[in-house]
Amino acid sequence: MANEQQVAAWQASGTCEWRIVDGRLEVRPAGGRATGTLGDFGWLRYKPLIKSAVFLPGVKATACEGMFQDCDQLTVADLSRLDGSSVTSLADMFDGCSSLTSVDLDGLSGSSPGEAANMFFGCSSLVSVDLSDINGSNINSLEGMFNSCSELVSVALPDLSDSMATSAQAMFFNCAKLADLDLADVRMPLLSNMENMFGGCKSLTRLDLSALGATNVTDMDSVFSGCSGLERVDLSGLAGSSPKEMNCLFMGCSSIEEIDLTALDVFRAKTLNYLFYNCGKLRRLDLTSFDTSGVIQMEGMFGNGASLKEVRLGHGFSFCGAKQEPLCQLPSSAGTHTLGWRNSSGRVYAASEIPANQAETYRSGIVLDADLICLFSRYYVYDGSPVNLILTTGLNEGVDYTASYANNVEVGTGSVTFEGIGDYVGSLTFDFDISQGVPQVGAPEGIVASWGAEALGSSASRWLDLGQSGPGGDFLHRLRRRPGDLHTRGHAQLRERCQGGESAD
């Protein structure tokens, strides 16, 4: 029968036969027939031997469910010559084929299977797959179809323009390298379960679900959780849906800046935990359709969302939900700074003070404090002009704040009030003192300075000694004045010496 490397003798399967030689599984019609219908998958007893698989012409399959399940050594599967046009199920077909890198499914062209759940579950080496020739209108479950295909870069989906699928749970879960996914023509009017549908797809940047037409979705837990590269998503195709579960819906979507959830009605939801947790770039949220009156849990709903700048709330929104005390609040801090929320009329609220059940738009701002702006000095000298305050700040007047003054000219106590604008909110007031200045001293007039000896022009003149005489008394600094001419003030000390009309030596 089989040695460690092969099953050389042909083995029966329906009206077909198969063998494994040098790691290659071959399947053909039995007994030299032109065609044959495949029966069971007996080769699954020898999974470790199968490195590649090929179907020769004439092999017909009506079911492919579990055909290569857990063949973790399989790298290449060629189904291009398989007649799979009548296949009814593709569920678990390559489930667990962790080494599969290449698959040709042209032989399934024209098929209209009813199941495709877990078709490529765990195919962690698969890079691309083309299912575009398959009619997907009868598929009722897409659950886990590409779950954990961590190397998958591109996928051409079956025709899902009018799909009967009710579940797409974890359909693309952990497809970490999948960067482009065209769902613009995908319509799933019966879809109810989207849990983790795109969870962990961290390379996806855009998703267009506008054509989905899914009005009955009930489970949206973690649909986009971990989609760290997602920048834009259109949820309008979910209009009318009223999900019961929405936990972690956008958790970890660290690149998205704006989310419009007006298509969703959450009045049946009981838990909204971590809905926008760790959405580090999220700036705008529209939650006007949210009725939280029945919600009992909203833990971490806006956690780590300091970048959030604008939130629109509707009449049905309350941070208390069905409880009597707050279940969550908008972000209250950004780094070491406190955040405030300004409504459309300019009133600023703390995050914990935003009123319930009021349709309003709130914009966040950093609350002004003394770490952001303060007076370098609170003491100034009166000079008849408005005080030019010296500030310590990195903010810009007219961009981040305005300043208004009270009594900033006259001697006494003045004040300045800074009002936050733009990205800043709140107000901050400082007092400062204006004191009387030291009187200004004018230069004295009629004073003449001389060096050395000088004859007195008049016996009425006086000499004023401005310093010590030099050695032997032969050098003096003197000022000569006429009676009544000299007026002095300040700190200079003048020693007057009358010379009595004699000349100075």
Rounded CA separation 254/41 (Å):
45
What was the pLDDT predicted at 439? 65
Same domain, 270 and 310: yes
* Predicted pLDDT of residue 452: 52
Q: Which residues contact residue 471 at a Cβ distance below 8 angstroms, ignoring those fewer than 6 apart?
A: none
For residue 485, what are the β-bridge partners?
none
Per-residue tokens: 259? 């989310």
Give the distance between the most distant pair of CA atoms in the chain: 155
Examine residue 458 and state whether it is found in any structural domain, yes or no.
Answer: yes
Look at residues 259, 200, 195, 196 and name the one whose alpha carbon lies nearest to residue 227: 200
Our count of domains for the chain comes to 4
Q: Is residue 87 part of a domain?
A: yes
Is 159 among the domain residues?
no
Which of 130, 158, 187 is the C-terminal boundary of a domain?
Answer: 130
Q: If you write DSSP's letter for every residue of 233-292 in order, what string do you get?
A: EE-GGGTT---SB-TTTTTT-TT--EEE-TT---TT-SB-TTTTTT-TT--EEEETT---
Q: Does 145 reside within a domain?
A: no
**229 with 284, same domain?**
yes
Q: Pick from 42, 52, 41, 46: which is nearest to 6 by CA?
A: 46
Q: Do 198 and 326 belong together in one domain?
A: yes
What's the Rg (C-alpha) of the chain? Answer: 44
Q: The CATH number of the domain where 315 resides is what?
A: 3.80.10
Residues 224 and 361 in one domain: yes
| Shared-domain flag, residues 301 and 402 | no
Q: Give SS3 for 184.
A: coil
Quick one: tokens of 46? Answer: 């020898």
- Is there a contact between 233 and 258 (Cβ–Cβ < 8 Å)? no
Residue 355 lies in a domain: yes
d(Cα 168, Cα 146) in Å, to the nearest integer?
Answer: 10
Q: Specify whether 326 is located in the same domain as 196.
A: yes
Q: Both 213 and 84 in a single domain?
A: no
CA atoms of 280 and 282, how far apart (whole Å): 6
In a domain, 152, yes or no: no
- The percent of the chain in helix, strand and coil, each rounded to the nearest 5, is 5, 30, 70
Query: CA 102, CA 162: separation in Å to the nearest integer?
Result: 28
**66, part of any domain:** yes
Instruction: Select from 435, 457, 488 the last residue of a domain.
Output: 435
Q: Which residues of the chain have pLDDT under 50?
A: 1-3, 453-505
Does 23 lie in the same domain as 90? yes
pLDDT at residue number 464: 42
Q: What is the three-class DSSP state of 106? A: helix
- Are residue 116 and residue 195 in the same domain, yes or no? no
Q: Pairing relation of β-strands 379-381 and 477-481?
A: unpaired
Asked whether residue 319 falls in the same domain as residue 429, the answer is no
Bin 184: left if φ > 0, else alpha if -120 < ψ < 50, else beta. Answer: alpha
Cβ(90)–Cβ(119) under 8 Å?
yes
Among residues 115, 130, 145, which one ends one of the domains? 130
- Range of 482's domain? 448-497
DSSP one-letter string for 338-380: EEEEE-TTS-EEEGGGPPSS--EEEEEEEEP-TTTEEES-SEE
pLDDT at position 454: 47
In whole angstroms, give the CA distance from residue 82 to residue 79: 5
- Together in a domain, 297 and 223: yes
Do residues 329 and 413 share a domain? no
Which residue shows structure tokens 């305005």? Answer: 402
Q: For residue 237, what is the DSSP state?
A: G
Report yes or no on 440 lying in a domain. Answer: no
**Strand ranges for 376-447 from DSSP E:** 379-381, 391-393, 401-406, 412-420, 424-425, 427-435
